[in-house]
Amino acid sequence: MKDNKIQIYKTRTKILIGFFILILALVTARFFYLQIIQGNELKELRERNINTFEYIYPKRGRILSKDGIVLAEDRKVFSLAIDIEQKPSEQSINKLADLYPDKIKVENLRLKVSNSIKFRRPEIVIERLTQEDLAKYLVGGSDITGFSVIEGYEREYNSHPSIFHVLGHMGYINDSDVQYFSPRINEYNAKIWSKVGKSGIERVYEKRLQGQHGKRFFQRNARGDKKVITDISSFMEGEELSISINFQAQKLAYELMNERKGAVVVIDLQDFSIPVAISTPSISANDLRDISSSQYQDLLNDPTRPLFNRAFMGLYPPASTIKPLLTIFALNNEYTNWDETIFDDGFFRFEEEERIFNAWREGGHGLTDLEKALVESSNPFFMNLSIRYEKDLFVEFLKSSSFGSKLCEDCYPHQFSPLIDDDWKYKNFGKELYKGDFINLGVGQGYMLTTPLHLSLISGILANRGEYELPYLVTKKQNKLFINEDLTDEDWNKLHSSLVNVIYSQNGTGYRINAGELNLAGKSGTAQVVDINSREEYDEVRTNPLLRDHAIFIGYAPYDNPRYSIAVIVENGESGGRVAGPIAKEVLEELLNDI
């Protein structure tokens, strides 16, 4: 019995010794793994613990108008941010939420805190603290830890809505921004910039405006109460950009539109810069800064589409305003000359298909030659011409007039006027272009669509006798372009005098503009919004404002030595000469008085 007890004791001690040695071996293996096999990795983690850096954000470059008005600049603001060096406690989170009940939701804040710690990014809790907010925090936030007031910059725009579409706006970076900037900016690091240009100049010139960020390297401890700066890398403030917009004229153009939908684009023919580009209605870029997502949705769903840049993106049938350009085409290919006449009785009969096209004036213009057709805008004359057009030559001519290609490198977003060729028609309608299509194309209807920017450029092409450059806002693209033409000076002079007569002859569709001493030349147009087959239908359509015709005017001034070309579109404005024309007149007057 006694021996048995000793035996049990010995056995059990041996078992425990064995167990102890087993764990000892396990521990040794574990430390071998951590220190020898994983040693270097863990050491690197330790260095990352201690040595860290923060970005130094440069001030974003100012944007100035050509007449020296500051359109956008960075202003110093204070924001409340999460301090990643000291994790905010649950208590502090609740207290902060109590301090700003209308600005902070506890759940959102909690999410931000956990994201902030996860990605080691000092997430902003309240942007742009007001004086009152700041005072509240300094008085009531003394026992709140894990948050800090940080200094930063915020974009402040000229609040006039006319400038919004050209300038664009800033917003928080998302995946599509990264995709956009990665190929365009060398070594683009999306992690650095939380806000980037979303549209307009802000987007196109993101790289130049943002400048070069710097890094502040420092050693810190876990509590964040010790911070030793070890190195600062150089950084560069953003570049100041001067854009071609003439702010006075821009403002005037916007106000002249008087809340109607539409666009005005002016091109300076000396250098093809764009002094005026407005799209109405618009908003102030500052309003987008801290808009809620539902408010943003409302803006997107607004039927007047204030966020849509009609000037660079809107596609409108050019209607009669395309006639001068097609006159060049017709003369060049000898489809007609200045002497040919037809009898315009208000209809064009397309005999191959036995279709009848109505013209806008009841009874027609009577005996009409090319000049009269331009001045009084005779559709039957141009329809009669267009059935003679050869498809390939026509497409080549449109191509040389920048249909189907990008017009402006620094306009964003940008849409080009589609080039109507067989490919285009196949893609959209599954068949080739046929003769009947040209009847509509020849008077700027049917498939033909142009942007206001393009119309303004076309007007410039007319003024400049076929030679042109691509318009720009900041950076000029140095190459001259020519449309396909080989007209004599006499042809050009006759064309120009026709365009002058549009404005100054009593029969001219633009006579009502009363252009006076402006020396304006131009062409009006009225684009049908819906296809109309009879005049009765037309009267019915007119009662619905949204179905009324678009008023279009293109022109240039002064006609003897053209300086500016312009395109004005007033959606549902009905009459190009009476509605769009006067706007063009006043804007051009403002610009020319400025010189």
Partner 1 sequence: MTFNLRNSVIFLSLAIIILLGSLTIFSVTSIDVNSFLRFLLINIFVILFVLLLFNQINLNRIFSFGLILFLFNILLVLSVEIFGKEINGSKRWLDFGFLSLQPSEFMKITYALFVIQYLRFYGFKFSRFRSIFLLSVLFISALPIIYQPDLGTGLVYTILGLMFLFICGMHRFYFIAMGIFGILLSPLIYTFGLTSYQKGRIISWFSSDQTLSEKWNILQSEISIGSGGLFGEGFLNSKQNEFNFLPEADTDFIFSIYAEQFGFIGVFLILIFLGCFIVMTTFLTMTDKRLTSDLSPYYIGTYCTFVIGFSFLLNILMVSGMIPVVGLPLPFFTKGGSSLLCFSIMLGLIFTSRGFLK
Task: Count CA within 13 A, CB hemisphere, residue 95.
Answer: 16
CB of 98 to partner 1, least distance (A): 23
Cα separation, 302 vs 460, whole angstroms: 33
Interface pick for partner 1 out of 103, 220, 260, 512 (rule CB under 8 A): 220
Spatial CB neighbours of 216, under 8 Å, sequence gap ≥ 6: 53, 54, 55, 56, 229, 231, 232, 233
Asked if 549 and 574 count as a contact pair (C-beta separation under 8 A), the reply is: yes
Per-residue x/- marks for partner 1, 50-89, CB under 8 A? x------------------------------------x--
Task: Give the binding range for partner 1 (CB under 8 A) out of 31-39, 76-84, 240-248, 267-275.
Answer: 31-39
Secondary structure of residue 54 in the 3-state scheme: strand
Residue ranges with strand state E in 249-334: 262-268, 273-280
Interface pick for partner 1 out of 86, 194, 219, 497 (rule CB under 8 A): 219
Residue that is written with structure tokens 């017709």 in the block: 330
Tell me the β-bridge partners of 149.
Answer: 80
Query: Each residue of 17-42: b (16+ CB within 10 Å) or e?
Result: eeeeeeeeeeeeeeeeeeeeeeeeee
CB of 568 to partner 1, least distance (A): 58
Q: Is residue 20 a contact point for partner 1 (CB under 8 A)?
A: yes
Interface pick for partner 1 out of 9, 296, 343, 429 (rule CB under 8 A): 9
Which residue's CB is nearer to partner 1, number 20 or number 296?
Answer: 20
Binding to partner 1 (CB under 8 A) within 92-151 occurs at 114, 117-118
CB of 174 to partner 1, least distance (A): 24
Spatial CB neighbours of 290, under 8 Å, sequence gap ≥ 6: 127, 128
Interface pick for partner 1 out of 138, 222, 232, 546 (rule CB under 8 A): 222
Binding to partner 1 (CB under 8 A) within 471-530 occurs at none
Interface pick for partner 1 out of 68, 187, 223, 334 (rule CB under 8 A): 223
The type of residue at 490 is E
DSSP string, 140-202: HTTT--SEEEEEEEEEEE---GGGHHHH--EEE--HHHHHHHTTTSTT--TTT-SEEE-SHHH
CB of 185 to partner 1, least distance (A): 32
Asked if 505 and 442 count as a contact pair (C-beta separation under 8 A), the reply is: no
- Total residues contacting partner 1 by CB under 8 A comes to 44
* Structure-token pair, residue 373: 């057709």
Task: Give the binding range for partner 1 (CB under 8 A) out of 35-43, 315-323, 529-537, 580-588.
Answer: 35-43
Maximum alpha-carbon separation in the chain: 141
Asked if 312 and 453 count as a contact pair (C-beta separation under 8 A), the reply is: yes
Which residue's CB is nearer to partner 1, number 94 or number 219?
Answer: 219
Task: Give the binding range for partner 1 (CB under 8 A) out of 26-34, 309-317, 321-329, 367-375.
Answer: 26-34
CB of 221 to partner 1, least distance (A): 4
| Secondary structure element (H or E) that encloses residue 317, with its range | none
Where do contacts with partner 1 occur on this chain (CB under 8 A)?
2, 5-6, 8-10, 12-14, 16-17, 20-21, 23-24, 26-28, 30-32, 34-36, 38-43, 45-46, 49-50, 87, 114, 117-118, 219-223, 226
